[in-house]
Structure 1
Amino acid sequence: MSKKPNPVLIDDENPEWTVADFAKARPASEVLPQIFGAKLAQEILKPRGRPRAEYPKERINIRLSHEVVEYFKSAGDGWQTRIDAALRQFITERQGR
């Protein structure tokens, strides 16, 4: 049983790509400089988002007492970051001894 496409969802201005379309396709880094010029193309192609941290945080599992978790959660979102800050402060104070 063949399923008929929903006519409301058919986009005549943006048809599905064929094998020939994929064969003609070129990377944006090749096409954009011809359309917008090298300087603007470089700006458009510049990676976005947060840069990778030199030492990214590690995902771990840790068991904490109910009181500790409730204390940090009671201040709202960011409770895990506050626990991290408290542990960093503990390390700093210990190194000063």
Structure 2
Amino acid sequence: MNANKCNTEAAWVDPDDAPELTDAFFKRADEFNGTRLVRRGRPKADVVRERITIRLEPDVLAQFKASGPGWQTRMNAALADWLKTHTPGDLKA
């Protein structure tokens, strides 16, 4: 079971024994626009990036990580910028 979901089984029988509807309850409640469920959270990206495994030199990785949060996005931008004037075949390992 998902840890974020509360147990929905009701231990009460009389409606007067129902738990109070608090602000926290309404904050977590599903929201509908007509009959359509409104999804919460981050919207889906237009361009989905692919997860890969890559080996980098420690000093290259350290410099990008030292630049703070968003270092992976900056590394992607640096590679995309390099590809504007080069091709991967330009480098010989």
Structure with the largest fraction of helix: 1
Higher strand proportion (structure 1 or 2)? 2
Structure with higher RCO (Cα < 8 A, 6+ apart): 1
TM-score (normalizing by structure 1): 0.48
Q: Greater Rg, structure 1 or structure 2?
A: 1
TM-score (norm 2): 0.50
